[in-house]
Amino acid sequence: MVSEIAFGSWLNFSSAAQKHNAVACVHRALDRGITLIDTANVYGRGAAESVLGEALQGIRRDSYVLATKLYFPMSSTDRGLSRAQIVKQLDASLERLRVAHVDLYQCHRYDADTPLEETMQALSEVVRSGKVRYIGFSEWPVDRIEAALAIAGVEKFVSSQPQYSLLHRDPERALIPLSSRRGISQIVWSPLAQGVLSGKYLAGSRVPTDSRAANDAINGFLNQDWLATPVLEAVQALRPLAAQAGLTLAQFALAWVLRQPNVAAAITGASRPEQVDENAAASGRDVAPELFEKAGRLMSDAILAKRPV
């Protein structure tokens, strides 16, 4: 069982200068009933896990669900999902997080260089050791998910972490139907489409200097098509729908993601505790389905009609 809103630690934990505020955001998240905390070894090359480990000191271990990931390079030789890497990277993550186990250990991407059987057997070993409770994956090809589920005698995946939002609906084609059939839930990332669905970007205006779009160090997942005039205009057209639901634009976008029965949680980041408050308030909201349907049509039409800014 996890909270519908999860707290993610990719951007806001990657700089030591943000440490104090990051710890405050973690504590605010827990105060607001956000119990799922998601991170990865590669975020800040271990920095995010270390800050989380400090922030969670003194907090009852059974009061939160802790998830981390591995796959991406941690050094010139350390990467992937081999048995050696799973054992090594898990122990390093546990040390940084200052815990004896993680609740969810996720394969950050698929590793084509390691036999799938080796990966699944190694993941099963760390579950049996008590260092991991459940396993998941992020952005795996559907055929590889099916292949992993077909391996006998190994732990089965319980979660998937795809990108999913009003502007990125790819998981609806094959991933969510497969997951629904096989008892796998989605913990989605970028439910606000890298901040675009917060409404901070306006058609015909320069991007704010303090925004993600203006920072080349953190905008790698920002689809430039989302900054096209038809898309930005459609995002602003969502505001009346959000107002009818009694929500802010960001809350409406989060609630839209959570309307999907196969989505267990939406991962949100925050650079200030006040943002945590806004995100947490999107959970459990009863929104008229026709508002969500209209929002989906607006964004789909905008994507089809996009043109350069």
Inter-CA distances, 190 with 22, 134, 165, 181, 204, Å: 19, 23, 7, 24, 24
Q: Give CA–CA dist 120/136, Å, rounded.
A: 11
Q: How would you write 128-140 as a 3-class SS string?
A: HCCCEEEEEECCC
Query: Which residue among the candidates 43, 64, 110, 134 is catalytic per the annotation?
Result: 43
How far, in Å, CA of 9 to CA of 13, rounded?
Answer: 6
Distance CA 8, CA 5 (A): 10
CA distances from 30 to 18, 34, 51, 190, 251 (A): 19, 5, 15, 20, 18
Cβ(309)–Cβ(259) under 8 Å? no
- Catalytic residue list contains 43: yes
Could you list the active site residues?
Answer: 43
